[in-house]
Structure 1
Amino acid sequence: MEFLLNLVIYLPLLSVLAVLLLRDDTAVKWTALLATSATFLLSIPLLLNFDIANSAVPQYVTEGSAILSTMDVKYLVGLDGLSLLLFMLTTLMGPIVILSSWESVSKSLKGYYAMLLILQTASLGTFASLDLVVFYVFFELSLIPMYFLIGIWGGADRIQATIKFFIYTLVGSLIMLVALLYLGFTAGEATGTYSFTADWRFISSPEFTIGLVEQTYMFLAFALAFCIKVPLFPFHTWLPYAHTEAPTAGSVVLAAIMLKLGTYGLLRICMPVFPNAFMEFAPWLAGLAVIGIIYGALVAMVQKDVKKLVAYSSVSHLGFVVLGIFAFNTIAVQGAIIQMVNHGLSTGALFLIVGMIYDRRHTRMIDDFGGIAKSVPVLAVMFMIATLASIGLPGLNGFIGEFFILIGSFNSELYGNITFAVLAATGVVLAAVYMLWMYQRVMFGEIDKEENRKMIDLNAREISLLVPLVIFMIWIGIRPVDFTVYSEGWVDNFISVTEDKSIAVLEQVNRDELPDWTARVYGLDNQSQTDKQIVLGD
């Protein structure tokens, strides 16, 4: 199984060579499709043989020798309860993304499909990495193909969108790199081993504890990089441009996979490595998440471009994921994990459908449509299912994730009140407003344009793209336990471990040595202690 995991990760990358050597465009398409289809089929045994009872422990682990003799930097990959479903989502979306470009892209096909294949390997490697340096390499590798996909095959304003996307994500990544190196060398000074392993064994060692000041700086550095990738308000401004200008396949990959690298990083790294900072800054990040939920919904409501509307809906929906992560209880974190998958399915389907409409009408302006459900009834049904799933209709996948997140946020000890949950719930209402209003204007009413009357319904290829996504939307909506069972053990274990680590750090704190601002953040200054005593009645 260890060999199979590595084969799944690198098969798309190995296929790039074959794609570049082929001369016939049809052969290029079929090679890319066969490579991604094989990747998905080979990943199924990883899911079926996964030991659910031990989901907190990485499985199918491949551990290579040290890359650098002076440091504990090694090739280390595996899957646990956090990464498994996201890993499977990435393999599922591979052939769907390739098929979505079958007829719509004709320029530089070799380079186009090569970029998609490299992007899949980068995403799979990120989710499977258990060494922080390896994680960083795969994390950064994902930027390169997306840069070219938008910059070469994007829309009219693709250059501006590409530059903004690259600058935002690169700045965050470079700051994270500094914190990564500091983390590894700090561990080396304490233990004698410069360790970057993402199972964080050195963090648990009694001779090494990350102090509160170091935690604060490093948490903020890592969190900034991941919040930009999510993107969390106010770091979201690159996303609508990137989505709007990217080709359909680029938008689907960006929504379904790449944005999850940010939320995944918050759970994989920020929670277990910087537990005290994670808890203390949770209300601040939750506040930004709630702002993003409401802001994204309000801005989506006034969009005239249907693709840009879906893009802003991602800002809103991913705000729910961040809110669930920082609520820091089992039900909220479980909801955040399943909501990452849900968003990939429903929003990925929405971008596919928008691309299909654009291929027929060469416009995305909502006012250019109206009544097309009469011309394209199959597309209308698929569009309705994806729309209702995105809203969170009970019985479809979006409901269970948002429901878990809101319940968990309502009872979060870190938030301390129900304000975040109440405000976030308004985002559910607003989502119904802008999504249903958009659907009504596009699909219903009288047809007043001849082009809409002549629209052709979905063909077999397009239906085959959407049917798997629809099946999973309904399946998760009706039987979420079939999916949440994979991450339950991981969530319970990591919350417990994170709490234990935070207590261990606080027991070693010398308050007199802390800067005043750090003491205030962590409630360790004299005034904070007095306030706590008053509240507790001491």
Structure 2
Amino acid sequence: MNGHFPWLTVMAALPFAGGLLVAALPAGKRLLAKNVALAVTLAELVLAVIVTVKFSPDGDRYQMTESYSWIKSFGVHWALGVDGIGVVLILLTAVLMPILVLASWHDADTPQVRMDGTAGDKAAPRSTHAFFALMLMVEAMVVVSFAATDIFVFYIFFEAMLIPMYFLIGGFGGAQRSYAAVKFLLYNLLGGLVMLAAVVALYVVTANQDIGGAGQGTFDLIRVSQAVASGELDINPAAEKAMFLGFMFAFAIKAPLWPFHTWLPDTMTEATPGVAVLVTAMVDKVGTFAMLRFCLELFPNASKTFAPLVVTLAVIGIIYGALLAVGQTDIKRLIAYTSISHFGFIIMGIFAMTTQGHSGATLYMINHGFSTAALLLIAGFLITRRGSKTIADFGGVQKVAPVLAGTFLVAGLATLSLPGLAPFVSEFLVLIGTFSRYEVAGVFATVGIILAALYVLVLYQRTMTGPVKAGVEKIKDLNVREMVVVAPLIALLLVLGVYPKPILDVVNPAVEDTITRVEQNDPKPTDPIVPAEQQLAADTHGGNK
């Protein structure tokens, strides 16, 4: 047992225990269930702040590490630890969860929509207890995924989070919720099964070379990645490529990367707004995080080999997602395709394998979480008021609900990466980092920026401006609870837009360590800068050479 306080284990246990408590409350105590869920997420936020403050960017790569023997015969340990990337993503999760609980306060109070789209029995509302208990379970599993330093432990929770997500989507979504939930589950289970084969293969390789000691293999991420970096673990190139593809396939589905993305639009369209944010702002980030932590560090040579292919797929995803967003008639589906485009930027930054690209990609994970949460939740408030998610049913909202329209505009401008708002800095870093190694990809990726301006501004123009359409006049402005949900998200978008340094200071040491392990150096400029007088002399005498 470690000598220090097990902060990360407590952070994982608190929402899990809170979920069990909420589920065990008497059926009639709906308000109590909500309050307990909110209290647990606030306590988790306090713990996340403490862990972030305790983390030292100048210290060891992995800090607050814990390791307890679990399945001794296979070398499996309950091993947790955070680097700069993991700690900021845990903080993102902890910040968003109380916001999502408040935003979803009444989502389980209303009758379930039938499969034919009609309202269910008003006397039979859905289970508030199950809804919030499942949300807390997902939070616990996401925290473990960001902190796990045992590959087997990571795999278990990477897969286990599918179970509560399946019930959140299928039990509390729209008319096509069952289809969306099954599609979500099947896609991600397929990825997980392929990854399991790669996990077993990696263990066999470490066992054959006695990396775990005593003739055993090991699932210790830190030990294996160090052995790979030092050359102690020699993996056959063909086997390394196969294992990389096994891991990457699962992460590409979770992320989601084109063409493995098709489950996301259905899921986000049918899920409640809070659950949709849970998917795209937290669960999907596990996929992009894992690309950094597992693919690049465990299989550096294979990562370099497949990097051009992955960057190409990411660029296609950027443009594809943006183009399809432009043509959508459903507000939530439009936002889903914007997320596919944004995940393309994140993955492109990761596989550009430059310090700017990695820093930008990690910062993008944070900023995308806040911007998408703001846009989706405000859109959810709007859809609930109107009773429709079809863009054509709106118009003139800013005249009857100016605060709602104003916050929707800020969230939309953040989504298109307007300078001064948080996503701009991360997108700029990703483009710089990509352009320095893959110029053509960087150029094509900028098309996504132009299309983003189109789909966001057209969405705002069609829903918020112009004459007030029939049915819109009844829309009320944001109430106090909704303002409490939206205000911190808008504030974070503004603050991180002008001062992202605190996050970058925490992230950059881990980024530099990853780049070193992959043995990639930032490309040097091809045209060195020379003093003007030397350039003039060269131009004058160039014909005499």
Deviations 1:343-395 (A, max 9, x none): 10001111101110111111011110001111111111111111111100111
Deviations 1:49-72 (A, max 9, x none): 210112x6111111112x222332
Runs of 4+ deviating beyond 4 Å: none
Residues of 2 paired with 1:500 and 1:385: CA distance? Answer: 38
Residue 375, structure 1, aligned to residue 403, structure 2: no
State which of 28, 34, 41 in structure 2 corresponds to 1:36: 41
Deviations 1:484-527 (A, max 9, x none): 111111111111122189xxxxxxxxxxxxxxxxxxxxxxxxxx
Which residue of structure 2 aligns with residue 431 of structure 1? 452
Consecutive unaligned residues of structure 2, counting only runs of 5 or more, are 110-125, 522-545
1:381-400 alignment to 2 at 5 Å?
A: 381-400=406-425
1:518-529 alignment to 2 at 5 Å?
A: none
Which residue of structure 2 aligns with residue 457 of structure 1? 477
Which residue of structure 1 aligns with residue 468 of structure 2? 447
Which residue of structure 2 aligns with residue 520 of structure 1? none
1:88-487 alignment to 2 at 5 Å?
A: 88-106=91-109, 107-191=126-210, 192-199=215-222, 200=224, 201-204=226-229, 206-412=231-437, 415=438, 418-449=439-470, 451-487=471-507
Which residue of structure 1 aligns with residue 524 of structure 2? none
Mean Cα displacement is larger for which, 45-54 or 235-244?
A: 45-54
- The amino acid across from 1:288 in the alignment is L
Superposition deviation, residue 10 in structure 1: 1.4
Q: Residue 103 of structure 1 aligns to a residue in which SS?
A: coil
Q: Residue 447 of structure 1 aligns to a residue in which SS?
A: coil
Q: Residue 80 of structure 2 aligns to a residue in which SS?
A: strand
Which residue of structure 2 aligns with residue 74 of structure 1? 77
Residues of 1 paired with 2:309 and 2:7: CA distance? Answer: 42
Q: Residue 472 of structure 2 aligns to a residue in which SS?
A: helix
Residues of 1 paired with 2:182 and 2:268: CA distance? Answer: 13
Superposition deviation, residue 206 in structure 1: 4.4
- 8 Å CA contact 1:10–1:121 kept in 2: the answer is yes
Q: CA RMSD in A?
A: 1.3
Residues of 2 paired with 1:21 and 1:263: CA distance? Answer: 34
- The amino acid across from 1:476 in the alignment is L
- 8 Å CA contact 2:393–2:469 kept in 1: the answer is no
- 8 Å CA contact 2:258–2:316 kept in 1: the answer is yes
Which residue of structure 1 aligns with residue 65 of structure 2? 61
Superposition deviation, residue 224 in structure 1: 0.6
Superposition deviation, residue 204 in structure 1: 4.3
Q: Provide the TM-score with structure 2 as the length reference.
A: 0.89
- 8 Å CA contact 2:257–2:340 kept in 1: the answer is yes
1:493-532 alignment to 2 at 5 Å?
A: 493-499=513-519
- 8 Å CA contact 2:354–2:520 kept in 1: the answer is no
Which residue of structure 2 aligns with residue 536 of structure 1? none
- The amino acid across from 1:193 in the alignment is Q
Q: Residue 395 of structure 2 aligns to a residue in which SS?
A: coil
Superposition deviation, residue 5 in structure 1: 2.4
Which residue of structure 1 aligns with residue 529 of structure 2? none
Superposition deviation, residue 43 in structure 1: 1.4
Q: Residue 432 of structure 2 aligns to a residue in which SS?
A: helix
Residues of 2 paired with 1:189 and 1:72: CA distance? Answer: 14
Superposition deviation, residue 17 in structure 1: 2.3
Which residue of structure 1 aligns with residue 24 of structure 2? 21
Q: Residue 61 of structure 1 aligns to a residue in which SS?
A: strand
- The amino acid across from 2:219 in the alignment is F
Residues of 1 paired with 2:233 and 2:349: CA distance? Answer: 30
Residues of 2 paired with 1:436 and 1:240: CA distance? Answer: 20
- The amino acid across from 1:483 in the alignment is I
Residues of 2 paired with 1:249 and 1:261: CA distance? Answer: 18
Deviations 1:296-340 (A, max 9, x none): 000010000010000000000110001000100100110000001
Residues of 2 paired with 1:497 and 1:126: CA distance? Answer: 21
Residues of 2 paired with 1:196 and 1:448: CA distance? Answer: 59
Residues of 1 paired with 2:144 and 2:72: CA distance? Answer: 23
Residues of 1 paired with 2:498 and 2:275: CA distance? Answer: 30
Superposition deviation, residue 207 in structure 1: 3.9
- 8 Å CA contact 1:60–1:79 kept in 2: the answer is yes
- The amino acid across from 1:174 in the alignment is L
Q: Residue 63 of structure 1 aligns to a residue in which SS?
A: strand
Which residue of structure 2 aligns with residue 4 of structure 1? 7
Q: Provide the TM-score with structure 1 as the length reference.
A: 0.90
Q: Residue 68 of structure 2 aligns to a residue in which SS?
A: strand
Superposition deviation, residue 48 in structure 1: 1.2
Q: CA distance change for structure 1 residues 202 and 70 in 2, over 3 Å: closer, same or farther?
A: farther
Report how many aligned residue pairs link the two structures: 494
Which residue of structure 2 aligns with residue 504 of structure 1? none
- The amino acid across from 1:81 in the alignment is G
Residues of 2 paired with 1:224 and 1:238: CA distance? Answer: 15
Superposition deviation, residue 205 in structure 1: 5.5
- The amino acid across from 2:270 in the alignment is E
Residues of 1 paired with 2:271 and 2:353: CA distance? Answer: 35
- 8 Å CA contact 1:297–1:312 kept in 2: the answer is yes
- 8 Å CA contact 1:333–1:491 kept in 2: the answer is yes
- 8 Å CA contact 1:2–1:62 kept in 2: the answer is no
- 8 Å CA contact 1:16–1:114 kept in 2: the answer is yes
Residues of 2 paired with 1:491 and 1:171: CA distance? Answer: 30
- 8 Å CA contact 1:195–1:202 kept in 2: the answer is no
Residues of 2 paired with 1:204 and 1:298: CA distance? Answer: 41
State which of 492, 508, 530 in structure 2 corresponds to 1:488: 508
Q: Residue 83 of structure 1 aligns to a residue in which SS?
A: helix
